[in-house]
């Protein structure tokens, strides 16, 4: 095992529970190989998930993909960052590209696309992506994540239906009172 792997494993093991130890291990790993895509990805995740510095996170993810376009570990985290930063067009292009990469977990990418459409309140499109995620999933443990996203989207659809019904009921009662 290479020394960088030892520090990378320590960083991954510590994240997100001990950020100080995570950063220390990442810094050591980075000093051994500044072009390691997993190191760059974890730096990006820390920027996005802990510091909410999406632009900085994006630069780490972009650097990792510039080094290796097949760095499978980067795509889902990069997509989530783009969605949170409301870079929707960029996220959709990245997701579509990611789906062409051999070996990528397609169900994860379809779920990210569903979340992307959910963020834009395009719920029909989001549910279509959930269906694709279900059809491509190969991991039993991931089924519950897909189901949770689907429930959340359906809950929002139901909220909109109730809102339309209550708005229509108010209009009808106003017409009756006139």
pLDDT of residue 176: 62
Coarse DSSP helix, strand, coil percentages of the chain, rounded to the nearest 5 percent: 80, 0, 20
Cα(83)–Cα(115) distance, integer angstroms: 8
Across 115-132, average pLDDT: 98
Are 110 and 125 contacting, i.e. CB atoms less than 8 angstroms apart? Answer: no
Predicted confidence (pLDDT) at residue 177 exceeds the cutoff of 90: no
pTM above 0.75, yes or no: yes
Across 168-177, average pLDDT: 64
CATH code of the domain made up of 1-102:
1.25.40.10
Judged on CB neighbours under 10 Å (0-12, 13-18, 19+), 160 is exposed
Across 11-40, average pLDDT: 97
Tally of CB atoms within 10 A around 38: 20
**Lowest-pLDDT range of 31-35, 37-41, 85-89, 168-172:** 168-172
């Amino acid at each position: 095992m290479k020394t960088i792997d030892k520090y990378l494993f320590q960083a991954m093991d510590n994240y997100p529970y001990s950020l100080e130890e995570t950063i220390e291990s990442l810094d050591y790993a980075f000093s051994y190989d500044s072009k390691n895509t997993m190191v760059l990805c974890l730096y990006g995740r820390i920027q996005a998930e802990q510091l909410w510095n999406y632009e900085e996170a994006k630069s780490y993810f972009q650097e990792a993909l510039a080094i290796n376009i097949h760095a499978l570990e980067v795509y889902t985290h990069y997509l989530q960052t783009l969605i949170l930063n409301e870079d929707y067009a960029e996220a959709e292009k990245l997701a579509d590209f990611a789906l062409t990469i051999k070996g990528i977990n397609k169900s994860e990418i379809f779920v990210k696309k569903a979340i992307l459409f959910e963020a834009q309140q395009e719920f029909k499109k989001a549910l279509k992506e959930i269906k694709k995620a279900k059809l491509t999933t190969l991991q039993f443990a991931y089924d519950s994540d897909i189901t949770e996203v689907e429930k959340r989207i359906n809950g929002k659809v139901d909220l909109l239906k109730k809102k339309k019904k209550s708005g229509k009921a108010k209009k009808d009662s106003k017409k009756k009172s006139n």
